[in-house]
Amino acid sequence: MVHDLRNPLSALAGNLALLKEELASVRLGETGSQCLEDSLVLCTRALLMVQSIADVDALEQGTISVRPRITPLAPEVEVAVTQGKADVEVRELDVVIDVPELSPVIDGRLVTRVIQNLFDNAVRYAPRRGRVEVKAGMVDRQLVISVGNSGPPLTAAEKTSIFERDYRAAERQAGARIGRDFGLYFCRLVVEAHKGTITIEERDDLPAVFVVRIPQ
């Protein structure tokens, strides 16, 4: 199913991008322009979700090789934030980005999607008019990326199981909220493939902060 979905989604994203380019000089009006932009963003997000599902199997089987190289980090964060722009506006969130000009050694293709997943998760579970924060820096020869929100803290049970592949199924059976699952499992696999760690911390202003540490 994943492979069957990928081709039409890729074609749809390509057509939307072409349509946006072709209509750049046409006066669509604010509503039309926004609808086209939102459609392209949402289609791209769906394609990334499908790709993440396919890559999880490849990462588990060791058929995807992490290819670290010097990668400017700020553009990767910008891509992640742009993908979540529609949800941010609907929920009226205050988004704080603190990412200096860093060029760590990472596989940019995979780490960008880690940031996207973490940002999407933070936006989804932030309270309306709440705050989402993305920070990055170098600490003790490690790249440290933190993504958090002002929502409620995670329970002890969530902290121990949230990065597992079967977390979604367990939560669905319990009748609880679902969604914080497959994407986070993908994040864990990518970070571990970089010989790094991903943990959850609580801070005074941000009760739920996901912290990625990748050695350099």
CA distance 191 to 73: 15
Do 126 and 34 have their domain in common? no
Helix (H) or strand (E) holding 105: strand 105-106
Higher pLDDT, 15 or 98: 98
DSSP β-ladder status, 208-215 and 142-149 = antiparallel
Do 173 and 80 have their domain in common? yes
Do 46 and 126 have their domain in common? no
- pTM recorded for the entire structure: 0.76
Do 85 and 161 have their domain in common? yes
pLDDT at 57: 75
Segment 140-190, tens digit of pLDDT: 999 999 999 999 888 888 888 888 876 654 444 444 444 445 788 889 999
Among 35, 61, 87, residue at a domain's last position: 61
For a pLDDT cut of 70, what percent of the chain falls above it?
92
pLDDT at 168: 53
Rounded mean pLDDT of the chain? Answer: 84
CA distance 142 to 191: 12
Do 191 and 151 have their domain in common? yes
Do 22 and 38 have their domain in common? yes
Do 14 and 100 have their domain in common? no
Q: What's the structural domain count of the chain?
A: 2
State which residues form the domain around 27: 2-61
Do 94 and 180 have their domain in common? yes
Say which CATH number the domain at 183 has.
3.30.565.10
CA distance 149 to 131: 6
- Contact of 85 with 49, CB cutoff 8 Å: no
